[in-house]
Amino acid sequence: MNNPDDRPERRPSPGAPRERRLSPEERWRVTRAALLRPMGLFVVVIGGVFSALTLSWWVVVLTLATYAALVFLAARDPLFWAHVLEGREYRLETRPSPSGGEAVPLERRVRRLPYGETRRKVEEALELYRRTMVAIEESDEVARTVLDDTLPKLHGIAGRLVDVAERREEVAGTILDLENHAGAPQREDLYADLPGLENELRAADEEISRTVEKLSPLRSRVVRISVESGDAVQEAAAARLNTDLDEMNLRLDALRSSTSPPEPPGR
């Protein structure tokens, strides 16, 4: 007979806080927040109204049992701990710095982009990313399990999008340098490739805009998945969502991989 303790351990979701021991003060804050969670209070109100209208004692028992279960699950949920104790901050995917030092957070890389339309769109995309992550956090345990594969795909989109934006700005700088130094002997080879750089610039602009458009409805789709009834329905909706995320990752990765960094201006 299989040992019940031999069940496969569930892999923690990227971006989810690791479990840790809470201090008595932290545990009290988490418990109080779980007791006052809007979802739980809503269940109590609905149960109380229904019980008063029907005069059914079993409704009171069912309502209290449901409320207790919601409080218990929230108080044991590391994501809820992070929400109560640390706020809703998510560290976006990072990449090693060119010097091989510490990884650079995506937020910092975005702040390094020149002010303009590209930076605005990337900031909008990352805000949509964060809202989607919050929607996943606020889903129940069943929905979060169904959406477990969604998290790394969202992280991948965020990282690849910033890569494409950085490359786009490098290309734009190279084009501007070529136009300002037209006819210079040392720039003739690169100037001959100007049409290719301009095509690359347009492709990057189109893909960045397309990614923002695709990210816009993600939060609503996650919310719909969390309120769907039936495991099969939730799994089917999550599968469609993951398919769309796979396509976005593939397109961004293909665009990122098909280009090489341009030669720095002045060389």
pLDDT digits (tens, 9 = 90+) for 98-152: 444 446 788 889 889 999 999 999 999 999 998 898 888 888 888 888 888 888 8
**What residues have CB less than 8 Å from 71, skipping those under 6 apart?**
31, 34, 35, 37, 40
Domain boundaries, the chain: 23-85, 95-257
CA 79 to chain centre: 14
Percent of the chain scored above 90 by pLDDT? Answer: 19
Neighbours of 231 (CB within 10 A): 11
Who wins on pLDDT, 122 or 29? 122
**CA proximity to 48, closest of 34, 38, 62, 37:** 62
**What residues have CB less than 8 Å from 102, skipping those under 6 apart?**
none
pLDDT tens sequence across 235-254 = 888 889 989 999 999 999 88
Report d(CA 30, CA 14) in Å as an integer.
22
Average pLDDT rounded to a whole number, residues 194-218: 90
pTM of the model: 0.59
User: Tokens 């650079």 — which residue?
Assistant: 104
Give the single-character DSSP code of 76.
T
Q: Is 118 helix (H, G, I), strand (E, B) or coil?
A: helix
Q: What is the pLDDT of residue 7?
A: 39
